[in-house]
Structure 1
Amino acid sequence: MHPQSDTLVDIQGLNKWFGALHVLKDIDFSVASGKRVVVCGPSGSGKSTLIRCINGLESYQKGVLRLAGTTLGLSGKETAAARRQTGMVFQSFNLFPHLTVLGNCTLALRRVAGKSRVEAESIAMAHLEKVKIPEKAGSYPSQLSGGQQQRVAIARALCLNPRIMLFDEPTSALDPEMIKEVLDVMVALARDGMTMVCVTHEMGFAREVADRVVFMDDGSILDRAPARDFFGTSGHPRSRLFLETILKH
């Protein structure tokens, strides 16, 4: 059975090993267009590996992973085309240090999307406005704070007009005072209707914007629920314990 056209991520029975280490175990996971899903869990639970599989950065050994209707891994060309519908924001900002902010944001627009310099710069500036950092267009990454660099990384991902944004612990490398400025941008994106999968420990963000929260431990999904229920009293004992630990800090 093919997924409905509004299902952007459709995963069935996904398994992945790193050598003998079984890092993803029979994962079933889907994300419909316009939905925001937060994936949480302790370190080493497989969250980042899952999101990297969705983006085609990691291969998998068993199961099916469809992104925007394309099964990843069958054809390099199809996988590359499907990946272009995603925007990925990493824990470390992954900006090119030798390019300005504007250069970082226009690179893929010019090389991948074939835009002219004028058009690419116009698109990039619109997204730098969206993340509230247009005045830094001529700066280099080394001249920016961590929070500013991560906002540039978000703007860069948005420039290619993705159908889904993937965030892999986007605030975990930031100083506490910079976390809010990045989360504010992500909240605004969510309110604009962007489809998002976000691996994060920021439970306040999850409570505010997530439609659904997925809890992973030891390579498996142990709990999944609408955000209201996840933060209520129902749920798996392991996710309750995780929440209690996180919310104490």
Structure 2
Amino acid sequence: MLTTQRRAMISARLAREGQIVAKALADELGLSEDTIRRDLREMAAEGLLKRVHGGALPLMPPLPDFAARQAIDSDLKRRLGRRAADLVKPGQTVFLDGGTTNAEIARALPHDLRATIVTHSPTIAAEFERHDAEVILIGGRLYKHSMVATGAAAVAAIEHVRVDTFFLGATAIHPAQGLSTGDYEEAAIKRAIAGQAADTYVLATPEKLGAASPHRIMGVNDVTGLVVPAGMSDEALSPYRECTALIVA
């Protein structure tokens, strides 16, 4: 097989499966693992993929900082936030993950809602200054990129909370590779929260679908549903219909 053919296959598989495992691909093609690894190194040097131990992931553009992300697709995020807020019922205990999209859930919740809001994000907690809802703020080491608490103290506090609904934030959502994010500790915190929740929902902006970040949180089939924008093609959404419920905003 020619080098150009291997590269085309690698690119297609990354787009379809969200990862390349060098040994598995070498065995499948009847080639040496060194050959595949060389292809991955060269493609990474050209900015076509991201090399990781044992293989490769799709190249994800660097995320803008928290302040910059607040201005990205704000109308779409508001629409998703309003639809997600409809899922919250009086009397529930709700955990809101950090992030600019989940901030729109907080803004959409009625000010007179009688509920308990749990969050490890000081920016999310601040959104409830004038709400009737009780707010529990989880502390720990502040991960400034997402403005959320991480670390052992946060995990210990989360273990003592039971929630009805968790709105989880992810940087990437792939039907095979699942939900993922860019920070190892943040991924662990998200798993811990989901483990305490009866239902877990994810607000999915279009650029996150079909992508994979380095640190896996959980499978798409492990969440109760994805809140997706109206107007997306059936081709884009069909792989997710087999995994979980889709809630259209």
What TM-score, normalized by structure 2, do the two folds share? 0.32
Higher relative contact order (CA 8 A, sep 6+): 1
Greater C-alpha radius of gyration = 2
What TM-score, normalized by structure 1, do the two folds share? 0.32
